[in-house]
A = this chain, B = another copy of it.
Amino acid sequence: MARESELLSHIYGRSAHLAAAFGSVLVGPGDDCAVVATPRGEQLLLKVDQLIEGRHFEAFPKTPVDLIARKAVARAVSDIAAMGGTPAWALAAATIPHGCPYADELFDAAARWARHWSCPLVGGDIASLGAGQAGPLLLGITIVGTPHAARGPVLRSGARPGDGAYVTGRLGGSFASERHLTFEPRLAEAARLCGALGADLHAMLDLSDGLGRDAARIAAASGVRIELEAALLPRHAGVTDWRGAAGDGEDYELLFTAAAAPPPLGTPVTRIGTVAAGSGCIIVDRGVVHDASNVGWDH
Protein backbone atom coordinates (compact mmCIF):
# COMPACT_ATOMS: atom_id res chain seq x y z
CA MET A 1 0.00 0.00 0.00
CA ALA A 2 2.78 2.40 -0.87
CA ARG A 3 0.21 4.57 -2.55
CA GLU A 4 -0.94 6.20 0.70
CA SER A 5 2.62 7.13 1.62
CA GLU A 6 3.02 8.72 -1.78
CA LEU A 7 -0.20 10.65 -1.31
CA LEU A 8 0.91 11.86 2.07
CA SER A 9 4.28 12.94 0.70
CA HIS A 10 2.43 14.86 -1.98
CA ILE A 11 0.30 16.57 0.66
CA TYR A 12 3.27 17.41 2.87
CA GLY A 13 5.11 18.86 -0.09
CA ARG A 14 2.20 21.06 -1.00
CA SER A 15 1.82 22.19 2.60
CA ALA A 16 5.39 23.34 3.12
CA HIS A 17 4.41 26.96 2.53
CA LEU A 18 1.62 27.01 5.13
CA ALA A 19 3.60 28.20 8.13
CA ALA A 20 4.98 31.06 6.06
CA ALA A 21 1.58 32.07 4.65
CA PHE A 22 -0.41 31.72 7.86
CA GLY A 23 1.29 32.96 11.02
CA SER A 24 -1.08 30.90 13.14
CA VAL A 25 0.20 27.62 11.68
CA LEU A 26 3.26 26.55 13.66
CA VAL A 27 3.43 22.96 12.36
CA GLY A 28 1.47 21.85 9.31
CA PRO A 29 0.86 18.38 7.90
CA GLY A 30 3.56 15.75 8.41
CA ASP A 31 3.95 15.44 12.16
CA ASP A 32 1.71 13.48 14.55
CA CYS A 33 -0.45 16.56 15.05
CA ALA A 34 -0.65 20.03 13.59
CA VAL A 35 0.32 22.83 15.97
CA VAL A 36 -1.51 26.14 15.70
CA ALA A 37 -1.60 29.33 17.75
CA THR A 38 -4.84 31.04 18.72
CA PRO A 39 -5.30 34.81 18.32
CA ARG A 40 -4.10 35.30 21.90
CA GLY A 41 -1.14 32.97 21.45
CA GLU A 42 -2.31 29.72 23.02
CA GLN A 43 -0.98 26.64 21.26
CA LEU A 44 -3.30 23.85 20.19
CA LEU A 45 -2.67 20.38 18.78
CA LEU A 46 -5.03 19.23 16.02
CA LYS A 47 -5.41 15.66 14.80
CA VAL A 48 -7.83 13.67 12.66
CA ASP A 49 -7.68 9.93 12.19
CA GLN A 50 -10.09 7.39 10.76
CA LEU A 51 -10.80 3.72 11.31
CA ILE A 52 -12.10 1.52 8.51
CA GLU A 53 -13.92 -1.78 8.93
CA GLY A 54 -12.04 -4.63 7.27
CA ARG A 55 -8.79 -2.78 7.50
CA HIS A 56 -8.22 -1.44 11.00
CA PHE A 57 -10.62 -3.85 12.64
CA GLU A 58 -12.64 -6.90 11.69
CA ALA A 59 -16.34 -6.42 11.06
CA PHE A 60 -18.75 -6.60 13.99
CA PRO A 61 -19.44 -8.95 15.77
CA LYS A 62 -15.88 -10.29 15.37
CA THR A 63 -14.74 -6.96 16.83
CA PRO A 64 -17.09 -5.78 19.61
CA VAL A 65 -18.59 -2.32 19.09
CA ASP A 66 -16.95 -1.06 22.27
CA LEU A 67 -13.49 -1.95 20.96
CA ILE A 68 -14.14 -0.39 17.55
CA ALA A 69 -14.94 2.89 19.26
CA ARG A 70 -12.09 2.46 21.72
CA LYS A 71 -9.51 1.98 19.00
CA ALA A 72 -10.72 4.96 16.98
CA VAL A 73 -10.45 7.29 19.97
CA ALA A 74 -7.24 5.74 21.31
CA ARG A 75 -5.39 6.14 18.00
CA ALA A 76 -6.05 9.86 17.90
CA VAL A 77 -5.29 10.24 21.62
CA SER A 78 -2.00 8.44 20.99
CA ASP A 79 -1.06 11.12 18.45
CA ILE A 80 -1.66 13.80 21.06
CA ALA A 81 0.58 11.80 23.44
CA ALA A 82 3.21 11.63 20.69
CA MET A 83 3.54 15.43 20.87
CA GLY A 84 3.67 15.34 24.68
CA GLY A 85 0.20 16.89 24.83
CA THR A 86 -3.08 16.54 26.67
CA PRO A 87 -6.31 15.81 24.80
CA ALA A 88 -9.05 18.37 25.40
CA TRP A 89 -12.03 17.76 23.06
CA ALA A 90 -13.10 15.22 20.46
CA LEU A 91 -15.37 15.17 17.43
CA ALA A 92 -16.63 12.01 15.69
CA ALA A 93 -17.71 11.44 12.08
CA ALA A 94 -19.27 8.07 11.33
CA THR A 95 -20.45 6.55 8.08
CA ILE A 96 -22.55 3.52 8.79
CA PRO A 97 -23.82 0.77 6.51
CA HIS A 98 -27.53 0.86 5.71
CA GLY A 99 -29.61 -0.54 8.55
CA CYS A 100 -26.60 -0.87 10.87
CA PRO A 101 -28.16 -1.90 14.19
CA TYR A 102 -25.45 -0.65 16.53
CA ALA A 103 -24.94 2.98 15.54
CA ASP A 104 -26.28 4.30 18.87
CA GLU A 105 -24.05 1.90 20.72
CA LEU A 106 -21.02 2.96 18.66
CA PHE A 107 -21.53 6.63 19.47
CA ASP A 108 -22.16 5.92 23.13
CA ALA A 109 -18.94 3.93 23.24
CA ALA A 110 -16.97 6.65 21.45
CA ALA A 111 -18.34 9.23 23.89
CA ARG A 112 -17.43 6.99 26.84
CA TRP A 113 -13.86 6.46 25.65
CA ALA A 114 -13.45 10.14 24.83
CA ARG A 115 -14.48 10.97 28.41
CA HIS A 116 -12.14 8.26 29.68
CA TRP A 117 -9.22 10.13 28.12
CA SER A 118 -10.59 13.49 29.26
CA CYS A 119 -11.51 14.78 25.80
CA PRO A 120 -15.33 14.94 25.81
CA LEU A 121 -17.05 14.27 22.52
CA VAL A 122 -18.48 17.70 21.77
CA GLY A 123 -19.78 17.16 18.26
CA GLY A 124 -20.17 14.78 15.40
CA ASP A 125 -21.68 13.90 12.11
CA ILE A 126 -23.38 10.68 11.17
CA ALA A 127 -24.37 9.46 7.71
CA SER A 128 -25.95 6.21 6.60
CA LEU A 129 -25.09 4.60 3.32
CA GLY A 130 -28.10 4.10 1.07
CA ALA A 131 -29.94 0.78 0.80
CA GLY A 132 -28.16 -0.07 -2.45
CA GLN A 133 -24.79 1.38 -1.48
CA ALA A 134 -22.08 -1.02 -0.34
CA GLY A 135 -19.33 0.25 1.90
CA PRO A 136 -17.52 -0.35 5.18
CA LEU A 137 -18.23 1.22 8.55
CA LEU A 138 -16.02 4.26 9.03
CA LEU A 139 -15.31 6.15 12.20
CA GLY A 140 -13.24 9.32 12.03
CA ILE A 141 -12.09 11.01 15.22
CA THR A 142 -10.76 14.55 15.52
CA ILE A 143 -9.01 15.56 18.72
CA VAL A 144 -7.96 19.01 19.80
CA GLY A 145 -5.35 19.03 22.52
CA THR A 146 -2.88 21.29 24.26
CA PRO A 147 0.89 20.84 24.34
CA HIS A 148 2.87 20.43 27.54
CA ALA A 149 2.85 23.84 29.21
CA ALA A 150 6.59 23.94 29.91
CA ARG A 151 8.12 21.80 27.16
CA GLY A 152 5.80 22.79 24.30
CA PRO A 153 5.01 20.35 21.49
CA VAL A 154 7.58 17.62 20.85
CA LEU A 155 8.09 17.27 17.10
CA ARG A 156 9.65 14.59 14.94
CA SER A 157 12.21 17.02 13.66
CA GLY A 158 14.25 17.73 16.78
CA ALA A 159 16.54 14.67 17.01
CA ARG A 160 20.25 15.55 17.28
CA PRO A 161 23.45 13.58 16.86
CA GLY A 162 24.47 12.14 20.21
CA ASP A 163 20.88 11.51 21.38
CA GLY A 164 19.89 8.13 22.64
CA ALA A 165 16.90 6.51 20.91
CA TYR A 166 14.36 5.03 23.32
CA VAL A 167 11.10 3.17 23.17
CA THR A 168 8.42 2.58 25.81
CA GLY A 169 6.87 -0.82 26.48
CA ARG A 170 7.34 -3.80 24.19
CA LEU A 171 6.90 -4.24 20.47
CA GLY A 172 5.41 -6.64 17.94
CA GLY A 173 2.45 -8.95 17.61
CA SER A 174 -0.19 -6.26 18.06
CA PHE A 175 -2.66 -7.80 15.61
CA ALA A 176 -2.13 -11.42 16.61
CA SER A 177 -2.62 -10.54 20.28
CA GLU A 178 -5.42 -8.02 19.62
CA ARG A 179 -3.45 -5.44 21.58
CA HIS A 180 -4.22 -3.06 18.69
CA LEU A 181 -7.75 -2.93 20.12
CA THR A 182 -6.84 -2.48 23.77
CA PHE A 183 -3.56 -0.55 23.93
CA GLU A 184 -3.22 2.30 26.38
CA PRO A 185 -2.10 5.57 24.78
CA ARG A 186 1.06 6.74 26.54
CA LEU A 187 -0.30 10.07 27.73
CA ALA A 188 1.07 9.88 31.26
CA GLU A 189 4.46 8.64 30.11
CA ALA A 190 4.75 11.42 27.52
CA ALA A 191 3.83 14.06 30.06
CA ARG A 192 6.40 12.71 32.48
CA LEU A 193 9.09 12.74 29.78
CA CYS A 194 8.25 16.37 28.96
CA GLY A 195 8.33 17.36 32.61
CA ALA A 196 11.54 15.54 33.52
CA LEU A 197 13.59 15.98 30.35
CA GLY A 198 12.31 19.37 29.21
CA ALA A 199 14.45 20.66 26.38
CA ASP A 200 16.57 17.48 26.44
CA LEU A 201 13.59 15.58 25.00
CA HIS A 202 14.35 16.23 21.35
CA ALA A 203 11.97 14.20 19.17
CA MET A 204 9.03 11.86 19.68
CA LEU A 205 6.28 9.98 17.85
CA ASP A 206 3.94 7.10 18.52
CA LEU A 207 4.66 3.84 16.72
CA SER A 208 1.82 3.06 14.35
CA ASP A 209 3.46 1.80 11.16
CA GLY A 210 6.25 -0.20 12.80
CA LEU A 211 9.46 0.91 14.49
CA GLY A 212 11.47 0.65 11.27
CA ARG A 213 9.38 3.00 9.15
CA ASP A 214 8.59 5.32 12.04
CA ALA A 215 12.20 5.68 13.19
CA ALA A 216 13.12 6.45 9.58
CA ARG A 217 10.56 9.28 9.71
CA ILE A 218 12.28 10.88 12.71
CA ALA A 219 15.62 10.55 10.91
CA ALA A 220 14.25 12.17 7.77
CA ALA A 221 12.40 14.97 9.60
CA SER A 222 15.42 15.73 11.78
CA GLY A 223 18.11 15.43 9.12
CA VAL A 224 20.02 12.86 11.16
CA ARG A 225 20.97 9.19 11.01
CA ILE A 226 19.45 6.74 13.47
CA GLU A 227 21.20 3.47 14.23
CA LEU A 228 19.14 0.84 16.04
CA GLU A 229 20.32 -2.49 17.47
CA ALA A 230 18.06 -5.41 16.62
CA ALA A 231 19.09 -7.25 19.79
CA LEU A 232 17.98 -4.34 21.98
CA LEU A 233 14.38 -4.19 20.73
CA PRO A 234 11.99 -5.10 23.57
CA ARG A 235 9.70 -7.81 22.22
CA HIS A 236 6.32 -8.92 23.42
CA ALA A 237 6.00 -12.58 24.42
CA GLY A 238 5.47 -14.63 21.28
CA VAL A 239 7.40 -12.22 19.05
CA THR A 240 10.37 -14.39 18.18
CA ASP A 241 12.24 -12.17 15.76
CA TRP A 242 13.43 -8.54 15.68
CA ARG A 243 11.54 -8.13 12.40
CA GLY A 244 8.24 -8.65 14.20
CA ALA A 245 9.17 -6.05 16.79
CA ALA A 246 10.26 -3.56 14.13
CA GLY A 247 7.67 -4.25 11.50
CA ASP A 248 4.37 -5.57 12.81
CA GLY A 249 3.03 -2.08 13.42
CA GLU A 250 0.24 -0.65 15.60
CA ASP A 251 2.34 -0.78 18.77
CA TYR A 252 1.31 2.74 19.84
CA GLU A 253 4.40 2.94 22.01
CA LEU A 254 6.46 6.12 22.18
CA LEU A 255 9.71 6.32 20.24
CA PHE A 256 11.80 9.28 21.38
CA THR A 257 15.31 10.65 21.23
CA ALA A 258 16.83 12.53 24.11
CA ALA A 259 20.14 14.03 25.20
CA ALA A 260 19.70 12.67 28.73
CA ALA A 261 18.49 9.39 30.20
CA PRO A 262 14.74 9.30 30.77
CA PRO A 263 13.25 9.14 34.28
CA PRO A 264 11.37 6.09 35.55
CA LEU A 265 7.95 6.09 33.86
CA GLY A 266 6.12 3.22 35.48
CA THR A 267 6.23 1.65 32.02
CA PRO A 268 9.50 0.02 30.88
CA VAL A 269 11.75 2.22 28.73
CA THR A 270 14.52 0.75 26.63
CA ARG A 271 17.43 2.41 24.92
CA ILE A 272 17.49 0.82 21.47
CA GLY A 273 20.03 2.88 19.58
CA THR A 274 21.75 6.15 18.89
CA VAL A 275 21.31 9.25 16.79
CA ALA A 276 24.29 10.17 14.62
CA ALA A 277 25.15 12.75 11.99
CA GLY A 278 24.14 11.73 8.51
CA SER A 279 20.91 10.45 7.06
CA GLY A 280 18.74 7.35 6.98
CA CYS A 281 17.83 4.83 9.61
CA ILE A 282 19.37 1.40 10.00
CA ILE A 283 18.73 -1.63 12.15
CA VAL A 284 21.88 -3.67 12.80
CA ASP A 285 21.36 -7.39 13.37
CA ARG A 286 24.53 -9.30 14.26
CA GLY A 287 26.62 -7.05 12.08
CA VAL A 288 24.19 -7.03 9.15
CA VAL A 289 22.79 -3.60 8.31
CA HIS A 290 19.12 -3.32 7.30
CA ASP A 291 17.40 -0.23 5.95
CA ALA A 292 14.76 0.45 8.61
CA SER A 293 12.47 2.31 6.23
CA ASN A 294 11.71 -1.01 4.53
CA VAL A 295 10.53 -2.58 7.79
CA GLY A 296 6.91 -1.80 8.66
CA TRP A 297 3.61 -1.31 6.96
CA ASP A 298 1.51 1.42 5.50
CA HIS A 299 -1.93 2.03 6.90
Contact = CB atoms under 8 A, between A and B. Distances in A.
B127 A50 contact: yes
A108 to B, nearest CB: 6
A138 interface: yes
A19 to B, nearest CB: 9
A146 B49 CA distance: 23
Interface residues of A, number: 66
Contact of A130 (B7, B49, B55, B129): B55
Contacts of A108: 14
A127 B47 CA distance: 15
Contacts of A103: 7
A34 interface: yes
Q: With a 10 A CB-CB cut-off, give which of A1, A11, A18, A22 has the most chain B CB atoms.
A: A11
Given A10-B107, A29-B121, A122-B29, A95 B128 contact: no
Interface string A115-135: 100001111111111100111
B93 A49 contact: yes
Contacts of A55: 127, 129-130, 133
Interface in A120-165: 120-130, 133-136, 138, 140, 142, 144, 146
Contact of A134 (B14, B25, B33, B135): B135
Interface in A33-70: 33-34, 36, 38-40, 42, 44, 46-50, 52, 54-55
11 contacts: A11-B111, A11-B124, A24-B88, A24-B89, A25-B89, A44-B144, A48-B123, A48-B142, A52-B95, A52-B127, A133-B136
List 8 tightest A-B contacts by C-beta distance, closest first.
A135-B135, A34-B122, A134-B134, A34-B123, A48-B91, A142-B142, A93-B140, A22-B120
